[in-house]
Amino acid sequence: MPATIVDLGPARFFRLPGEAIVGAAILLALPRKPRVVLAAVSGVALAALTVLNWLDMGFKQYLGRTFNLVLDWSLLGDAQSYLEDSLGRTATLAATAGLIVLVLLLFASVAYAVVRLSNVLARHSATATRGTLIAGVVWITCSSFGVQLAGVPLAADSAAVTLQSQTERVSDTLKDEAEFQKVAKVDAFGATPPAQLVPDLRGKDMIFTFIESYGRSAIEDPIMAPGVDKTLAVRTEALKKAGYHAKSGWLTSATYGGSSWLGHSTTLSGLWVSNQQRYRTVMASDHLSLTKVFKKSGAWDTVGVMPGVQKGWPEQSFFGLDKVYNAFELGYKGPKFSWSTMPDQYTLEQFQRRVHGKKHDKPVMSEVILTSSHQPWGPIPKMVGWDELGDGSIFKGIEAAGNKPADVIADTTKSRQEYGKSIQYSVTALTEWLERYGSKDTVLVFLGDHQPIARVSGNHASRDVPISIVAKDPKVLDKISAWGWSDGLRPAHDAPVWKMNLFRDRFLTAYGSTPHPKKG
């Protein structure tokens, strides 16, 4: 099998596998007992490689990368939780049980099949030997001359290649872990005195907001872009009338299709956090996150509003947040919208009531994570009057009348359409909140954490996400005039593209921070 679903086709199964020819030759040379043992072990190994191949295909489809045998097992639990939120507990349990049975049957049947074939070879050893020699000659000939069937090489070595790539991946992961631990100890601003951190933002209420799955495809894909671009244009004009101005660019995310926390931590740590091991390493370090900068300065109170957090969250310490409001601390009494625990508009209203709208001795730096644009994009909330939000019960009718998750998941075109609508909703809710509640001292930085899954963004989509900085005070945007970002909320196609981990240091430098390196 190929490593991607899009390459899956009949021609892939009409090939001559080199591993089978070598295996047949070895089995023919062995006496009965070791032959049967080797055949059974080979069958189990082949089944295991098949499962890894399936995982590669699934991860490519959803996360734009192959499965990591060392790091990614924990994500299977997250996938099950996502299905439960989207399709319900009964359907998820049934799917999980069915998958377990399928895998067990695969191991048993393939092991049995290889043992049975080895017995057939042994009973007809003369014919099998001739056949193996002929097959070997044909394989070498086809491989040497590049003979293809429907564009696919007739001589196959897929199992060997899969085994080699998995082995190299494990080795590279272990090496990367050791090297990244050294990198994480180096910090250009790690020893900067508090007084020299972001002095040009003193007195400002800073808000760093991540919009789930807000990727470049939302702005440039022909299906999603018309609606999203119109929303960005309308909201840019509305903010301009309210006295706000914006500049926007592109960041290349460290993740794709999911694992949002990798995008969050890459942006805020200034390190390329592209896998779970790197994430654990960073969270256990004293590397200075962008949000912790404001806490360390002593000039801001720091708060997190995170409706997606539904369990203990020890990362609060790394991000330097004095207080975190999770899904259970925002007073929401309405329905969940699939995975999203509450609509973004409600989250932002609660942020206003509990944080931004209260009097403080110091300005507040807030990290707000919006979740309404999380897959499966059904049902999607609708904007209601800000004064009508209450405890969120108003959304019961909206949720009941929306699309069913299973209907959206099953239809690629509908998934793309509904994804675009979810981005329009999130951007509208956020910018309406700023227009309604912001002041001359409010500075909003918002961006996407990653592109949506490949089925929505396309199989060859970039990893770019939009980022915008919005403020009333012209001095705030003057500080980044040299960045070359586009005016307004929509970054131009040719606007600068930076790796996401570069944002922290460039932001700190632009707003007057003095580097004092820490080398661990």
pLDDT at 520: 63
CB 485 within 8 A of CB 491: yes
Q: Convert 435-466 to b/e letters by CB count within 10 Å (16 or more is b).
A: eebbeeebbbbbbbbbbbbbbbbeeebbbbbb
The token duo for 519 is 């080398």
pLDDT at 85: 67
* Backbone φ/ψ region at 151: left (φ over 0), alpha (ψ -120 to 50), beta: left
Q: Are strands 152-153 and 148-149 parallel, antiparallel or unpaired?
A: antiparallel
pTM, two decimals, is 0.81
pLDDT at 179: 86
CB 490 within 8 A of CB 248: yes
Using 70 as the pLDDT threshold, list the residues of the chain that sit under it.
85-86, 520
pLDDT at 195: 94
Residue 452's SS3 state is coil
